[in-house]
């Protein structure tokens, strides 16, 4: 697997279009889940705490992602819970590698997205695509200046999630390596 580029995948935004305007998106299923990180930020006993976090997932995304020429890695605050709660719903194996963040939502001294530096440390020297909804131009410039292998930062709009054009871009980038 080390010869394949990494696909570093966030959940909220790319897989869970949490800003979608429509209550029911075509092809998506809605679930209420209780991820530990989210629960820790809710008031115990509150309505939100009891009901859980509403997420929308597309069961077909797993097959589309698995068909890509990448080694899939979770790069999400869901961490290991992505394997437990997200993977079965979308059809991915529940054994994907997980980036374990040293600090969630930390403030970067240079204004980078808090995932950027730990993600580069994790991917050291490997080509990768990072799929996330919070990537900025500053992150893209930082990765270009500090990562010795090819990298593509693919920002996904959290209203739409991953779309067909994104899968085309992912395939094309891997073929061009």
pLDDT along the chain (177 residues), means of 10: 88 95 82 90 92 94 98 97 97 97 92 96 96 98 97 97 97 95
pLDDT of residue 164: 96
pLDDT of residue 25: 80
pLDDT of residue 157: 96
- Note whether 87 and 41 are within 8 A (CB): no
- CA gap 107, 85 in Å, rounded: 28
> In the structure encoding, which two tokens stand for residue 50, read together?
């009891």
pLDDT of residue 34: 92
């Amino acid at each position: 697997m080390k010869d394949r580029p990494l696909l570093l995948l966030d959940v909220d935004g790319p897989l869970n279009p949490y800003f979608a305007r429509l209550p029911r998106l075509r092809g998506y299923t809605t679930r209420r889940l209780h991820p530990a990180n989210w629960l820790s930020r809710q008031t115990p006993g509150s309505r939100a705490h009891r009901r859980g976090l509403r997420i929308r997932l597309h069961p077909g995304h797993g097959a589309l992602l698995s068909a890509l020429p990448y080694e899939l890695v979770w790069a999400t605050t869901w961490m290991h819970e992505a394997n437990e709660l997200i993977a079965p719903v979308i059809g991915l194996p529940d054994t994907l590698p997980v980036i374990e963040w040293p600090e969630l939502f930390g403030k970067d001294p240079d204004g980078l997205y808090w995932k950027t530096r730990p993600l580069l440390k994790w991917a050291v020297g490997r080509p990768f695509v990072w799929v996330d909804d919070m990537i900025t131009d500053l992150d893209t410039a930082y990765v270009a200046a500090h990562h010795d292998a090819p990298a593509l930062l693919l920002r996904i709009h959290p209203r739409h999630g991953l779309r067909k054009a994104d899968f085309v871009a992912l395939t094309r980038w891997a073929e061009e390596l």
